[in-house]
Every structure is written in structure tokens, then in C-alpha cells.
């Protein structure tokens, strides 16, 4: 990352530090934990709802406390616990707690709790509303819980940029490491918005698939399938990670954020904001478009989003361009959690040298000119790769990962 930070003595700025991805944790509809998640990405697409099943958060909270924690926070906390363990455990990450940060974003926050307690208010009166309502529904709860669990006293923040929140959180966390503010950051996002009110709202705005099938970039795509989940990555100073002989999935070499400044829900039809975001992320990573070998696309399965993103990728990379996939055919669209789930998928692609297929795709769209990975996973020699996210409000986010240096 092209970041700079001042020397302790107040001297001239020095080049930014490199950022290593040393741990991942994930809670997804296709699997809890990185192994189940990866197996799910390579499996057949499910039908219908993409809910998380079988999550046991009591190992993190205990049975009593877990009942006082909204599902979106539980998803983040369980993912963070796996990520820390995956990075070697808290002892391996131990250092100055004031230089350890947490950034966990969300699109909506504790909507499950909000809806449940509103029902209580309407049916049973104000005195029966839970005193835990506010701390359960607030969007910064996940970041706060993770910070308290591990004693990380550095920046603790929640990025709320709709469906770009996960990507922005990871990018913002990487910037904290690159600038020298933090040595380690737990970065990711979580969402649990599959509630009656939310589903009705998205359905009535015709964003959801009427067929119940997520088909990114397919000619028959008719909207997204709602999902939920959470994911967290351990971002660490590269020199520190190499010194402790950590397993490094990839280097997070660049990130960018831009705005369409066009419409509250529709993407800019010319893809200008997405183009700018990808180009800025590549410049941040000092990577040229011709060096990019893979893009994990936002690919929601909505007609306008897929068109705009495909056009933007052609403008940046030409045709056929790098290998492209969208994992939303498996995971559905988990709103604020999507970007961090996809960042974990990209990190695992580096480790396993495979690109998951775009599940649900069957019929090519003559207006989309991409090298789309379909049918089965594609073997891949890891090289510079992007992960894109685009959210309501015109929020754009891009991450750039490159292979880690030799140990």
C-alpha cells in the first residue's frame, strides 16, 4: 500500500508497511469455518434461502450471554475467534494492545433484535421492551465485542457502507497497518438481515430474485437471493508476520473507495465509479491492469449491477481480461457481510490455487464479455487479484491481493 507514516522522532515520512493476511474466519450459509466454507463454494448451488444453520456461539459468549447478543454480532464474534486461532492464537498475535485494532462493518446491524423488540412494544407495551435492546442492535456492537474479547485497545470502528461495508472494513484495517498505526487488525463484517421487514422491503423494491435462484452474470438473472453471515481477516505487519514464521495467505497490497454520486440504489450505468475504484486500488498496489489474473466480482445476480460491473471490468482490463467469478451463486447476497466473505474466499484461492466457479450460471449474456469461471473450479497460478464490492448509495470498494513473499 502506498501509505506513509511519520517516524517516532517526528522526522520525514517513511514508506508504508506491507500488510499480510495471516488468519481467516468465516460464518456462511454454505459452511461455518473456513474448511466447510471452501467446500461449499466448490459444491452445487443450494435452492431457496441462504441462512446460517447450526451456529453455536456459546463457546464465545456462554449460554446466558449469547441470548443477549444479536445474530449479526454472534456471526462476527465466531468468525473472529476462528481467525485469531487460524493466525496462531492470541499469544502469537500478542504485542502492544494499543497498537491492535478492530474494524468490523455491517450494512444494517442488529435488525433481528430491533424487529423482535418492536413486536414486544406493540403487543405487550413499553415496559416489556428489553433493556438490552440498544446494545444488541447498535451497528458497532460486533467491533466492540471483538475488541473487548481480545483486549485490543487501538482503533475500534464499524464501517457502515451498505454492501461495500466488508470490503471497506478490510481496506480500512489494512491502512491502519500500512501507516504504522497498528501492528495487527481484525477486520471484516457481519450481517443478519433476513427478517420479515427486510425481506418485504427488498422484495417490494424488486431487488430479490422471483425465481429464488442466484445467477450472477447469467442472461436469466432476475435479482439477488438474500444471505447472511460474517467473516474476519487477521491483517498484520508483513515483517512481523515473517519474523514469527506465520502462515501468510496473501499480501493485501492495495485498496480503494469511491462513490458513484448517481443514485441511491442503482449503479452508475457507465460504471464510472467502479472503474475509478479499481484503477485507484491498482495504483495503490502498484499493479498494472495487465498483471491482474483474477477478479472476485460483486456479481449480485441483479440485471443492472452485473451489467455495470461487467462493463467496468472490460474498461479496466479489456477482453477477455482476467478470470472472473462471483460466489453469490452459493452464498447469496449477504449485504454488509458480502465483501469480507469474498475477501476470505480470495485468500483461500491464493492458498489452494483454485478459483471457485460462478454457481448458478448456465446461459451466457451476449452483452457480458468476461472470462467467467463456470461449471467447476479452475486451477490458478496465483497472481495479482481483485475483490470488488458495490453498495446502495453508490459506495464502491476494491481490494488488491498479491502472492506473499517467500518465507
Burial of 377 (0-12, 13-18, 19+ CB in 10 A): middle
Separation CA 49–CA 218 (nearest Å): 19
Please choose, from the candidates 226, 373, 224, the residue with its C-alpha nearest in 3D space to the C-alpha of residue 304.
224
Give the strand pairing for 323-325 and 371-372: parallel
Return the residue matching grid coordinates 470498494: 397
Query: Of 30, 156, 163, 277, which one is the catalytic site residue?
Result: 163
Active site residue 156: no
Query: Of 168, 277, 294, 298, which one is the catalytic site residue?
Result: 298
Query: Of 30, 156, 294, 333, which one is the catalytic site residue?
Result: 333
What b-and-e string marks burial along 141-153, b requiring 16 or more CB atoms within 10 Å of the CB?
A: bbbbbbbebbebe
Active site residue 333: yes
Sorted by sequence, the CB contacts under 8 Å of residue 250 that are 6+ apart come out as 20, 21, 346, 347, 350, 382, 401, 402, 403, 404
What are the Cα distances from residue 314, in Å, to 281, 311, 369? 16, 5, 7
Tell me which long-range contacts 51-57 makes (C-beta under 8 A, separation of at least 24).
51/194, 51/227, 51/228, 52/27, 52/28, 52/192, 52/228, 52/229, 53/29, 55/27
Active site residue 163: yes
Cell of 283: 495504483
Residues belonging to the active site:
163, 298, 333
Amino acid at each position: 500500500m502506498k501509505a506513509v507514516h511519520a517516524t517516532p522522532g517526528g522526522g520525514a515520512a517513511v514508506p508504508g508497511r506491507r500488510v499480510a493476511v495471516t488468519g481467516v474466519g468465516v460464518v456462511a450459509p454454505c459452511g461455518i469455518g473456513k474448511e466447510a466454507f471452501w467446500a461449499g463454494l466448490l459444491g452445487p448451488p443450494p435452492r431457496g434461502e441462504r441462512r446460517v444453520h447450526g451456529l453455536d456461539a456459546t463457546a464465545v459468549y456462554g449460554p446466558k450471554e449469547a441470548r443477549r447478543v444479536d445474530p449479526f454480532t454472534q456471526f462476527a464474534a465466531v468468525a473472529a475467534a476462528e481467525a485469531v486461532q487460524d493466525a496462531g492464537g492470541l499469544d502469537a498475535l500478542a504485542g502492544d494492545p494499543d497498537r491492535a485494532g478492530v474494524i468490523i462493518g455491517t450494512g444494517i446491524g442488529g435488525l433481528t433484535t430491533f424487529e423482535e423488540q418492536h413486536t414486544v412494544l406493540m403487543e405487550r407495551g413499553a415496559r416489556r421492551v428489553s433493556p438490552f435492546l440498544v446494545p444488541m442492535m447498535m451497528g458497532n456492537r460486533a467491533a466492540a465485542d471483538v475488541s473487548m474479547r481480545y483486549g485490543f485497545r487501538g482503533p475500534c470502528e464499524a464501517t457502515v457502507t451498505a454492501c461495500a461495508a466488508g470490503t471497506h472494513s478490510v481496506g480500512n484495517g489494512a491502512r491502519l497497518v500500512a501507516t504504522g498505526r497498528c501492528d495487527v487488525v481484525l477486520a471484516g463484517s457481519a450481517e443478519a438481515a433476513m427478517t420479515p421487514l427486510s425481506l418485504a422491503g427488498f422484495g417490494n423494491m424488486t431487488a430479490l430474485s422471483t425465481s429464488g435462484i442466484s445467477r450472477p452474470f447469467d442472461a436469466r438473472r432476475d435479482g439477488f437471493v438474500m444471505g447472511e453471515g460474517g467473516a474476519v481477516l487477521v491483517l498484520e505487519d508483513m515483517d512481523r508476520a515473517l519474523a514469527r514464521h506465520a502462515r501468510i495467505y496473501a499480501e493485501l497490497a492495495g485498496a480503494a473507495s469511491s462513490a458513484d454520486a448517481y443514485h441511491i440504489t442503482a449503479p452508475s450505468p457507465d460504471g464510472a465509479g467502479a472503474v475509478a475504484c479499481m484503477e485507484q486500488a491498482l495504483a495503490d498496489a502498484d499493479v498494472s491492469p495487465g498483471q491482474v489474473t483474477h477478479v472476485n466480482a460483486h456479481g449480485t445476480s441483479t440485471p443492472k449491477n452485473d451489467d455495470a460491473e461487467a462493463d467496468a471490468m472490460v474498461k479496466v482490463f479489456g477482453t477477455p481480461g482476467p478470470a472472473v467469478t462471483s460466489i453469490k451463486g452459493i452464498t447469496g447476497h449477504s449485504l454488509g457481510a458480502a465483501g469480507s466473505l469474498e475477501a476470505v474466499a480470495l485468500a483461500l484461492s491464493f492458498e489452494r490455487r483454485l478459483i471457485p466457479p460462478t454457481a448458478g450460471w448456465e446461459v451466457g449474456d451476449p452483452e457480458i464479455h468476461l472470462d467467467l469461471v463456470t461449471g467447476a473450479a479452475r486451477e490458478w497460478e496465483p497472481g495479482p487479484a481483485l475483490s470488488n464490492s458495490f453498495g446502495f448509495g453508490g459506495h464502491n470498494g476494491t481490494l488488491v491481493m498479491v502472492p506473499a513473499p517467500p518465507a
